[in-house]
Amino acid sequence: MKRPNIIFIVADDLGYADLGCYGGRDAAFGPVSPVLDGLAANGLKLTQGYSNSPVCSPTRFAMITARYQYRLRGAAEEPIRSSSRGSTTLGLPTDHPTLPSLLKAGGYQTALIGKWHLGYPPHFGPLRSGYDEFFGPMSGGVDYFTHCDSTGQHDLWFGEQDKKEDGYLTDILSKRAVDYVERMAVKQKQEEEAPFFLSLHYTAPHWPWETRDDAEKAPTVKDNLFDLAGGNIHVYRRMIHHMDEGIGWIMAALEKHGMADNTLMVFTSDNGGERFSDNWPLVGGKMDLTEGGIRVPWIAHWPAVIAKGGESKQLCMTMDWSATMLDAAGVKADAAYPLDGVSLMPVLKDAKHSFRRPLHWRMNHRGQEAMRDGDWKYLKVDGNEYLFNIPADERERANLGKKEPDRLAAMRADWLAWNATMPGIPEDATVSLGYSVKDMPQR
């Protein structure tokens, strides 16, 4: 079998239960995510998968390097802010091997369509870190119609050139992805082997709260993209549906050219949900190391390898999928930068396969620490320690720390030993919260 094409689709701030296949309810207009639900039904769904961080840019550092984000200075920002344009330190170092650079060296065509959020040119950028092509925003969030960031600067790029383009950003990104698949199909007919790697990183359903019918709203949110007085669950679900429709366009293009069978498509979110998301049965959300901030949907579709209808409880996190893609492509990591991610290829081939996979997190925000190992989770927030049996208590309400002090101590020691292998949090690292309890009640 030829090496697969790979499409890595990442939603932005999508909640664990926002998709129908993860228990999400229908909207007034009908099913919210029929395309993604279909991919899950015809592929593999993971129910115990996590993001590397509960906030955007740190997860993206892990996603592109297949290593714990804490190893890089830029990932200490929670998250990187638009005001960091021009910084020489807050971004992905161009000499660091990446998922796209390793795949490119291995013979893949590479492209990023969508959100970058790993530093700004001239010091950083997708084209400097392994992508042959780039179209999308560099910052964390932009208006869907004006394509301006939170500072009011236009932030839509083609390569490293500012690119003005009319339209609703989610649709623009989807159509660009379809065009890329079409071009790669032509290339693959001309060459014996020309596999591609496409990162399709949507900004949906991140704020501001705009559907494709809300162009008139853009001027009212340009000075506050957090859109604190706007949005509702109906708008939010429609935003997810627009993304789902675009993924359907891409699948149709793959099927038209006979490429769907040998394309590994992976879908997830960069972190847990925000204001209008559904995280049931989890609590917390973006910026939290409770389950709602880090447990996210994971769907893998690859008909040539993955059997239909599989469901796995394998513990995994973002960087594991990056390692999996390298494994699927037959590409080795750089020996000088050993991966922290672990390949999930055995799980793709057999949904019943499982292995021990301890996971570790930390956040500057509220001094959070967390570890998941098997059924158990250690959590520390604001100096308070907790121990939860996650399968029995997914809402993390029954603190078993006093009942099982030895287990709590062992997991604390494990987390401390892991943390000692990581660089410390720099004193000048920033935490940026777009809103507080003054704007809405605490979860």
Residues acting as catalytic residues: 56, 117
Token pair of 338, please? 């050993």
Alpha helices (H) in 195-317, listed in sequence order: 218-221, 233-256, 291-294
Count of C-beta atoms within a 10 Å radius of residue 419: 16
Q: How far is CA 89 from CA 77, 80, 97, 174, 292, in A?
A: 11, 11, 17, 32, 30
Pairing of strands 368-373, 376-381: antiparallel
Residue 90's closest CA among 109, 110, 75, 105? 75
Residue 113 CA, chain-centre distance (Å), reads 14
CB neighbour burial string for 293-303, b if at least 16 within 10 angstroms, e if fewer: bbbbbbbbbbe
Query: CB of 201 within 8 A of CB of 111?
Result: no
Residue 59's closest CA among 183, 201, 194? 201
Sheet of strand 359-363, all strands in order from the earlier edge strand to the far edge: 359-363, 368-373, 376-381, 384-389
> In whole angstroms, what is the distance from residue 64 CA to residue 241 CA?
26
Maximum distance among all Cα pairs of the chain, rounded to whole angstroms? 65
Provide the 3-class DSSP secondary structure of residue 269: strand
Residue 289's closest CA among 375, 376, 364, 401? 364
Count of C-beta atoms within a 10 Å radius of residue 437: 8
> In whole angstroms, what is the distance from residue 335 CA to residue 102 CA?
12
Token pair of 73, please? 């200075």
Tell me 61's DSSP state.
Answer: H
